[in-house]
Amino acid sequence: MVSETEEREVGKLASLLGVNKEEALRLALKEGIHELRIRKATELYVSGKASVKQAARFAGLDLADWFAIASHYRIEHC
């Protein structure tokens, strides 16, 4: 269920993007899932609970993209 505040935010986003609310919500969900996967993969990698390959797979990235993300966030490679 979406709160009234979230509904308004989706409406603002839709206007900003020039799309309808459903498309704005779909795009926000897709991007949010992507960001959450990267964040969790990063946490697992930094804590030593995931290897480089596992973290990349958890994030839904190939190794080259994972290394680019790791570099951006200044994550040391093991």
Dist CA 25 CA 28 (whole Å): 5
**Residue among 45, 78, 37, 77 nearest 61 (CA):** 37
Q: Where are the domains of the chain?
A: 4-72
In this prediction, residue 71 carries a pLDDT of 86
Residue 73, pLDDT > 80, answer: no
In this prediction, residue 78 carries a pLDDT of 52
The average pLDDT across 1-20 equals 95
Give the global pTM. 0.79
Residue 4, pLDDT > 60, answer: yes
Q: What is the pLDDT of residues 22-67, one digit of tens each?
A: 999 999 999 999 999 999 999 999 999 999 999 999 999 999 999 9
